[in-house]
Amino acid sequence: MVVQQIERRGICDRRVLEAMREVPRHEFVPTAVKTRAYKDHPLPIGFGQTISQPYIVAFMLEHLLLRAKDRVLELGTGSGYQAAILSKLVAQVFSIEIIDELNHRATADFQRMGYRNILLKSGDGYEGWPEFAPFDAIVVAAAPDHIPQPLIGQLREGGRMVIPVGDTPDQNLLLVEKRSGAMRKRVLCPVRFVPFTRKSGD
Ligand code: SAH
């Protein structure tokens, strides 16, 4: 998977490729779709949600320019696959999931598989996780129609965020950089993520 679907399509960050080689994707998908775990597709994980396509995970993580000492916030734990890859790349991963059942499943999976530097929380990620801010990087795995303002506040100066923004199906993956307190935004590519939902309904 890594050589044929990820390296060949232009991902060249050695650390990202190594982390993707280390994390067994089949451990993060339901039994019914395990035979398709190493195909380059999103797959259903229950509750109407999906595990992201491996290439997109690699693409997003490469744009974050992560360093081993970084602390990273992920919104949308889902299957836990991307958080597991992040855990190999950085010092501490913080991940929020809005669906309680997915949070519980990922908590149990990480314990079983021995991932110790991932802290999970159940809830709406819109407000970020102020107790642990600022973050060196933020990665969002579901698409809101605008960039949540609290996330910008929780990004360290010089930090980077990758986030899909837009109403389905017209979403763009954005790279946001915080420089001298200002935001620099760049569109990376059109994408299709599950919608970012809100607990409060707004
Ligand atoms: N990173 C995940 C991708 C899962 S899909 C993986 O590797 O499997 C995106 C996830 O975002 C879904 O599980 C969905 O429930 C969650 N999500 C949607 N809106 C959210 C919100 N406001 N806060 C936190 N998680 C959210």
pLDDT in tens, 153-166: 999 999 999 999 99
Span 131-136, mean pLDDT?
Answer: 98
Question: How far does the centroid of ligand 1 lie from the alpha carbon of residue 180, in Å?
Answer: 30
First to last CA, the chain: 39
Distance separating alpha carbons of residues 41 and 174, to the nearest angstrom: 21
Of 194, 198, 202, the one to substitute when testing ligand 1's pocket (max ligand atoms within 8 A of C-beta) is: 194
Q: Is the CB of 94 under 6 A from ligand 1?
A: no
Distance separating alpha carbons of residues 176 and 40, to the nearest angstrom: 26
Distance separating alpha carbons of residues 72 and 65, to the nearest angstrom: 11
Distance separating alpha carbons of residues 63 and 53, to the nearest angstrom: 16
Protein residue with least CA distance to atom 19, ligand 1: 196
Distance separating alpha carbons of residues 197 and 194, to the nearest angstrom: 9
- Given this model, what pLDDT does residue 26 score? 97
Q: Average pLDDT over the chain, rounded to whole?
A: 96
Q: Which of these ranges, 3-7, 116-120, 151-155, has the smallest mean pLDDT?
A: 3-7
- Given this model, what pLDDT does residue 154 score? 97
With 90 as the cut, is the pLDDT of residue 13 above it?
Answer: yes
Ordered structural domains, the chain, with CATH: 2-31+41-191 (3.40.50.150)
With 80 as the cut, is the pLDDT of residue 202 above it?
Answer: no
Q: Look up residue 178 and give its two tokens.
A: 């915080």
pLDDT band at 141; cut points 50, 70, 90: very high
User: What pLDDT digit, counting tens, does each position of 91-101 carry?
Assistant: 999 999 999 99
Give pTM, 2 decimals: 0.97
- The angle subtended at Cα 111 by Cα 82 and Cα 60, nearest 5°, is 10
Q: Is the CB of 124 under 6 A from ligand 1?
A: yes
